[in-house]
Amino acid sequence: GQSTSPTRRGALIVVEGLDRAGKSSQCEMLRDSLSRQGHVVKYIRFPDRTTPIGKLIDSYLRGSSHQDDHSIHLLFSANRWEIAKSIEEDIANGTTVIVDRYSYSGVVYSAAKANPTLSLEWAWRPEIGLPRPDICLFLSISPEEAAKRGGFGAERYENGEMQTRVRELFQTIFEKQQDVSIIDAGKSIEEVSQEIRGVVADCIARLDVAGALRK
Ligand code: T5A
Ligand code: NA
């Protein structure tokens, strides 16, 4: 279709949300749906645990290593920067990139630690200049609905206290942020997927109207 014409750039679609909101499930369904429509699509997720920086993050999340709050924050950010250029190239070449967690998770989880020298403002700084999403889908789920999807795992941050602060901070930043669609992720997988497909179709249509050309 028209959207895959080489003169059109791809869209950068970010999916954010609380733990067990269904981000990865929805990203996969969106990728398949866009592919069926003829788009060239890539699905990536952060943290990317496969790179050397990603391995440090993985070990930290599993509790196998300790990191200063600021250090791990900068590693999460560096993990995005090391892939930033390839995201930009993909988009410029007409590939639509779906990203599972991005800068928003980055700032929210770090700021939720309530470290006095790690404010939201501090946390945003290293994110400035990363490829800017065309749309962010925030999958919102109540603690009650999330609890129905099984207990917390063993990873760092998977505890009630941290999750409560994360939920509050996501709310705080998304109230002020434009280009964010808040999706009720407590519905069935198919209902959520349908809503996401609609929002993404609108976003891609807007890009086409704007004549978003290859950079
Ligand atoms: N982090 C991350 C930072 O601190 N800084 C950063 O910069 C970044 C990028 C790892 C941790 O790192 C932190 C945040 C995290 O604490 P992760 O690897 O993305 O991040 O976390 P995951 O554990 O993979 O992801 P989640 O637990 O948040 O799960 P998802 O992807 O939201 O949910 P999903 O799709 O895996 O589904 C969970 C379960 O629910 C079911 C699924 O089948 C599955 O069993 N489900 C539904 N059930 C009913 N109705 C629906 N609508 C459902 N949708 C899914
Ligand atoms: Na996930």
| The pLDDT value given to residue 7 | 56
Phi and psi dihedrals of 135, rounded to 5?
-150, 145
Each residue's pLDDT expressed in tens, for the chain with a length of 215 residues = 455 555 589 999 999 998 899 999 999 999 999 999 999 999 999 999 999 999 999 999 999 999 999 999 999 999 999 999 999 999 999 999 999 999 999 999 999 998 999 999 999 999 999 999 999 999 999 888 888 887 778 899 988 889 899 999 999 998 888 789 999 999 999 999 999 999 999 999 999 877 655 44
Q: So what's the ipTM on this one?
A: 0.96
Q: Which numbered ligand comes closest to the C-alpha of 25? A: 1
Which tokens belong to 139? 């999958």
Beta-carbon contacts of residue 200 (< 8 Å; ≥ 6 apart): 11, 13, 30, 34, 135, 137
| The pLDDT value given to residue 129 | 98
**Mutate which of 81, 101, 138 for ligand 1 pocket (most atoms within 8 A of beta carbon):** 101
Short-list 45, 20, 57, CA closest to 100: 45
User: Which helix (H) or strand (E) element contains residue 143?
Assistant: helix 143-148
Q: Which numbered ligand comes closest to the C-alpha of 186? A: 1
Q: How far is the CA of 21 from the centre of ligand 2 (A)?
A: 8
Kindly report the pTM of this predicted structure: 0.94
Phi and psi dihedrals of 42, rounded to 5?
-125, 140
| The pLDDT value given to residue 176 | 82
| The pLDDT value given to residue 214 | 41
| The pLDDT value given to residue 97 | 98
User: Which helix (H) or strand (E) element contains residue 135?
Assistant: strand 135-140
CA distance 121 to 115: 13
Q: How far is the CA of 98 from the centre of ligand 2 (A)?
A: 13
Q: How far is the CA of 215 from the centre of ligand 1 (A)?
A: 33
| The pLDDT value given to residue 166 | 94
Short-list 180, 190, 207, CA closest to 91: 207
